[in-house]
Structure 1
Amino acid sequence: MSSGRSSTSTRTSSVTRPMPSVHNTPNVTTLGRAIQAGSMNIGPTNTTVRSRPISGIRQASVDRSHISTRNIPTTTLSSSQRRISNDSTRSRLSNQNQFAAATDQRSTISDYSERRTSNASNSSTLASNSNDDASSSNAKVSSIDRQNSHSPSPIDSKLKSGGLTGLQNLGNTCFMNSVLQCLSNTKPLLLFCLQENLADCLNTSSTSVMRGILMREYANLIRKMWTSSENHSVASPSAFKNTVGRFAPRFLGYAQQDSQEFLRYLLQGLNEDVSRVQRKPSPMKIDEKAEERMKEKDRAKFSWERCLLFDNSRIVDIFAGQLKSTLECSHCQYQSITFDMFWDLSIPLPRSKSSSSVQECIQLFMSKEELDGDEKPMCAKCKQKRRCTKKFSIQKCPQILVLHLKRFSQARGRTKLNTYVDFPVNNLKLNDLMDVMSESYEGPAPTYNLFGISNHSGTAYSGHYIAQCKHPFTNQWHEFNDSSVHSLNEKQQIISSNAYVLFYERNN
């Protein structure tokens, strides 16, 4: 049993690291043998871990009550810093394309040899032509996929029967188990953990608290969950939990915890462990006036490049989006616009209604909020505190959209809202919502399909977590209640007032 706890988002400065590219293509044959044999553990490391308390977490969930209202100044990057950012972007695109070609296997065993030869050729071409655009690389990958899509592979067959592994409750660890099951069914993260050369992606520099050990232990657990030869087997997350506790000491014991808070810490730790940034960039020169003269879409891109100098990893590729914050002075109408990277959104529930929809909650999060009284921010133009309005909109959509329903409140004592929130299982459309997408957002707004839910039942002081997840290879829904796993067949079994954290995957 584990109760929910109110979440507080803390934003601190980032530790930075350089961004080496990862060019190794997974050895498909060896990967297939390893999956079939169930021997997928990543070897141990001799690296010493620095264990320290975590006072805050960078790029955590975005809660509108904790977004900075100050006018963030412009950063002018040096040419060398821009090269670091651009090289990292090309490296990330190259790595993603090579990995997709190797892991999205639909060919027979005899085709694997041909495919590996083709991949090696493509990898060499990409290395010698690092300035080729991403569309050309994607076209090569798509061509390979079309050529080899005529029959399923042994790896596909193994994965279709995998992932239905329960997790032991070690004592109030249902909060952790529910998050692990949702992440286990997050397809891009799963495939990243299953690639053979994952060890080459680990950040063992001093800029990672765990020096790659947290990702190593997480991947070992995920591989056990997906390579078990027994149907509905049970795995122990004990070793993983101990490792998480070394990164975030609050999870060392067996106290009741909040699943969304655990998710934030885990993603931060995994992000550090596979970060492409391994040393601090040079000091930045701030030029606020120059940034104000830039077009909004250019400011957004510039801000994103700035973020990648500090946080750049496969975890960022999968979970990170960008939020636009507009602060308008009610006295002089001056607008201060800033951009923030986010990994999940904490969206409020209507307080006076017994039922709502996730679209209404998103709309409420994005709506204008008046800042007055003690909340008055400093107007950059008036040079004094003024009554202002604050509004959010989405500038960049993530591949995986995580929505945290704010059911727990500290107001008038710790309480839980049992509001029934309806949410679409398929085709969550953000562009159907008014003023949710930024005016400078480029391209069609994506739609999202639900694939995971962390549910909380009970009160704010005592409760229990379970997960409901859609299998990434069979599309069958299952419920994971610690060590128990069973199928779900009805939509009514998925949508309930217990939904707490929703996981959506972008489908376009």
Structure 2
Amino acid sequence: MSPAGCPHVSGFKVDNWKQNLRVIYQCFVWSGSAETRKRKAKSCICHMCGAHLNRLHSCLYCVFFACFAKKHIHEHAKSKRHNLAIDLLYGGIYCFMCQDYIYDKEMEQIAKEEQRKAWKMQGIGEKYSTWEPTKRELELLRHNPKRRRITSNCTIGLRGLINLGNTCFMNCIVQALTHTPLLRDFFLSDRHKCEMQSNSCLVCEMSQLFQEFYSGHRSPHIPFRLLHLVWTHARHLAGYEQQDAHEFLIAALDVLHRHCKDDNGKKANNPNHCNCIIDQIFTGGLQSDVTCQVCQGVSTTIDPFWDISLDLPGSSTPFWPLSPGGDGSALNGESHATGATTLTDCLRRFTRPEHLGSSAKIKCSGCHSYQESTKQLTMKKLPIVACFHLKRFEHSAKLRRKITTYVSFPLELDMTPFMASRRNVDLILLFAVVNHQGTLESGHYTTFIRQHKDQWFKCDDAIITKASIKDVLDSEGYLLFYHKQFLEYE
């Protein structure tokens, strides 16, 4: 879409377009009254497949609802030449000619007005309001000599890191963290207020690191202080031996989590009750359901997690191949070459029911005795940033090796099939991939990061080079970082 806005909106803005748009928002998007919510529940189904989910969109030119995920609304737009549709969950306007969601000031104003009306009808206050600069603030922004214009070719944020001696494991994780959108916004807005007495706060160092990355300087940065603080707070990583990037990620998040303070000013010691920026972005909830095979009683526990570790074919852990071409793989657009394994396959295996067997009986609260049971893991809460760890390094008493099985992973992943409840479509987008080249004894880490939409770069310590999407998707993959496409306020 051009900076001037979508040129195809003018075709919709005829006759009573404002009133028509208001009716759509009132009845099928925000639905403030109980009556309109009932109407939406009954009416809003795909006119092609009859589904309620799959990101329903409504054509703005005619009364037609269809799936966005399965591209039914795309087929309608192509056949009828109706170029605009509205997302019935979030209210965004999509242009099929621009192939993107668009912004139009008049349409946005109508959407806001109708949303406020719906909130008022439901007794909900406007908890989060959009910041709009005043005339004075706009004037200051215009005359700011340090003001930078961000374009599609902008390289601000791209900066190499000097390898200080087998520290590629640290450099690759730093690149992934500094390109995590919400983490970047947090640190660049100077939100961290440090109360530590000594100069050993890792959060302060990360804040300084973000300033260095987004300063516009192009020379490689030397992260010597970061390395020193990591050695200080995570002593098992101290020294110049080769370390595991996944282990460093978890250690770094743990230290950052401990050094952060929540909104109430209390130390973030309890991972289950924390409002620090690390937990807000990276912490999800893993639901474990244990079902008694006798009375079918279910015992549920929910544990926090920062990453999901996935078994791979070729490991000593039994891996049952899942049939290609299922709903998840087709939807997620993963290549299913002969014998190839996909990320969706790994997630299906991770969330499939597992029979615990007679050697692992659990006392059933319903039967009041030890019974055989099945256990199933699902996602209770999907974190804003989901990190998938492909378990390529196998360590056992008899075996130490690297598993090089190729795993196909998509740019866009639908996590809905793996959620404990499937109320909304949970789409996540790939923004960073950490790779390991070499063997278990000797290797090197690099990172692919997404700078802008469809613009990828390879970070190899101090060297930053442009990469294609094919380069990213063809890579082996060790740590995969995905970001939620839509953020929801709780």
> What aligned pairs does 1:181-220 form with structure 2 within 5 A after superposition?
181-198=175-192, 200=193, 202=194, 204=196, 213-220=201-208
Give the aligned residue type for 2:478: Y
Partner of 1:453: 433
Distance 2:381 2:143 in 1: 35
Kindly indicate whether residue 448 of structure 2 is the aligned counterpart of residue 485 of structure 1: no
Residue in structure 2 matched with residue 503 of structure 1 by the alignment = 481
Matches of 1:152 and 1:449 in 2, distance apart?
36
Cα distance in 2 for residues equivalent to 1:478 and 1:362: 27
- Between the aligned partners of 1:211 and 1:321, the Cα distance in structure 2 is 31
2:299 counterpart of 1:336:
yes
Match of 1:221 in 2: 209
| Contact 1:203-1:273 within 8 A present in 2 as well | no
- Cα displacement string for residues 33-74 of structure 1 (whole angstroms, at most 9, x for unaligned residues): xxxxxxxxxxxxxxxxxxxxxxxxxxxxxxxxxxxxxxxxxx
Q: Deviations over 1:289-330 (max 9, x none)?
A: xxxxxxxxxxxxxxxxx9653x32111111111121101122
Q: Secondary structure at the match of 2:149?
A: helix
- 1:314: which partner in 2? 277
State how far apart, in whole Å, the 2-side matches of 1:462 and 1:384 are: 51
Letter in 2 for 1:171: G
Residue 157 (structure 1) aligns with:
149
Partner of 2:259: 273
What is the deviation of 1:438? 1.1
Structure 1 residues 163 and 307, CA, compared in 2 at 3 Å: closer, same or farther? closer
1:166 aligns with 2:160: yes
What are the equivalent positions in structure 2 for 1:103-252 lying under 5 Å apart? 136-141=126-131, 155=147, 157=149, 160-198=154-192, 200=193, 202=194, 204=196, 213-230=201-218, 233-252=219-238
Larger gyration radius, structure 1 or structure 2: 2
Report 1 or 2 for greater relative contact order, CA contacts < 8 Å, sequence distance ≥ 6: 1
| Gapped regions of structure 2 (runs ≥ 5) | 1-121, 322-338
Q: Kindly indicate whether the alpha-carbon contact (under 8 Å) linking 2:272 and 2:304 is maintained by their aligned counterparts in 1.
A: no
8 Å contact kept, 1:203–1:278: no
Contact 1:451/1:503 (8 A) holds in 2: yes
The answer as to whether partners of 2:261 and 2:267 remain within 8 angstroms in 1 is no
Measured after TM superposition, the shift of residue 415 of structure 1 is 2.1
Q: How far did residue 419 of structure 1 move?
A: 1.2
Q: Determine helix, strand or coil for the equivalent of 1:378.
A: strand
Which aligned pairs between 1:329-478 and structure 2 lie closer than 5 A? 329-351=292-314, 355-411=340-396, 412-425=398-411, 427-431=412-416, 433=417, 436-439=418-421, 443-471=423-451, 473=452, 476-478=455-457
CA distance in 2, matches of 1:268, 1:234: 27
Distance 1:168 1:134, change over 3 A: farther
Residue of structure 1 equivalent to 2:54: none
Partner of 1:58: none
Which residue in 2 is equivalent to 1:288?
A: none
CA contact (8 A) 1:275 1:313 kept: yes
Taking the aligned partners of 1:421 and 1:334, their CA distance within structure 2 comes to: 36
Partner of 1:7: none
Comparing both structures, which one devotes a greater share of its residues to helix?
1
Deviation (angstroms), 1:268: 1.2
Cα distance between partner residues in 1 of 2:289 and 2:355: 12
Name the SS of the counterpart of 2:345 in structure 1.
helix
- Give 1:175's aligned amino acid: F
| Local SS of the residue matching 1:229 | coil
Which segments of 5 or more consecutive residues in structure 1 lack a partner in the other structure? 1-131, 282-305
User: Quick one: distance in 2 between partners of 1:214 and 1:368?
Assistant: 40
Residue-pair matches, total: 333
CA distance change for structure 1 residues 380 and 407 in 2, over 3 Å: closer, same or farther? farther
Work out the CA distance in 2 between the residues paired with 1:329 and 1:219. Answer: 49
> Matched residues in 1 for 2:214 and 2:171: separation?
15
Aligned partners of 1:212 and 1:274 also within 8 Å: no
Q: Cα–Cα, structure 1 residues 330 and 460, in superposed 2: closer, same or farther, change >3 Å? A: farther
CA contact (8 A) 1:241 1:251 kept: no
Once superposed, what is the RMSD of the aligned Cα atoms?
3.1
Identity %: 30
